[in-house]
Amino acid sequence: MDIFIKRRKVFYIISLLIIIPGLVSLVMNGLNLGIDFTGGSIIQVQMDSSVQSAQVRSTLKEIGMERADVSKSGNQFLIRTTELDQEQTRQLLDALESKFKNVEFLSAESVGAAIGKELTNKAILAVIIAAFAMLIYITIRFEWTFGVAAIVSEIHDVLFVLGLFSLFQWEINTSFIAAILTVVGYSINDTIVIFDRIRENLRMKRKEDYANLVNRSITQSLNRSINTVLTSLFALVALLVFGGGNIRYFILAMVIGFVIGCYSSIFVASPVWYDIKNRA
Q: What is the pLDDT of residue 163?
A: 92
This prediction's pTM: 0.82
Q: Which domains does the chain have, with CATH numbers?
A: 3-34+115-279 (1.20.1640.10), 40-111 (3.30.70.3220)
pLDDT band per the 50, 70, 90 thresholds, residue 244: low
pLDDT confidence tier of residue 2, bands split at 50, 70 and 90: low
Three-state SS letters, the chain: CCHHHHCHHHHHHHHHHHHHHHHHHHHHCCCEECHHHHCEEEEEEECCCCCCHHHHHHHHHHCCCCCCEEEEECCEEEEEECCCCHHHHHHHHHHHHHHCCCCEEEEEEEECHHHHHHHHHHHHHHHHHHHHHHHHHHHHHCCHHHHHHHHHHHHHHHHHHHHHHHHCCCEECHHHHHHHHHHHHHHHHHHHHHHHHHHHHHHHCCCCCHHHHHHHHHHHHHHHHHHHHHHHHHHHHHHHHHCCHHHHHHHHHHHHHHHHHHHHHHHHHHHHHHHHHHHC
- pLDDT band of residue 160 (cuts 50, 70, 90) is very high
Examine the pLDDT at 130 and tell me if it is beyond 60: yes
Question: Over the chain, what is the mean pLDDT?
Answer: 85
Mean pLDDT of 108-121: 70
Q: What is the pLDDT of residue 73?
A: 79
Name which of 6-10, 203-207, 254-258, 269-273 the model is least confident about: 203-207
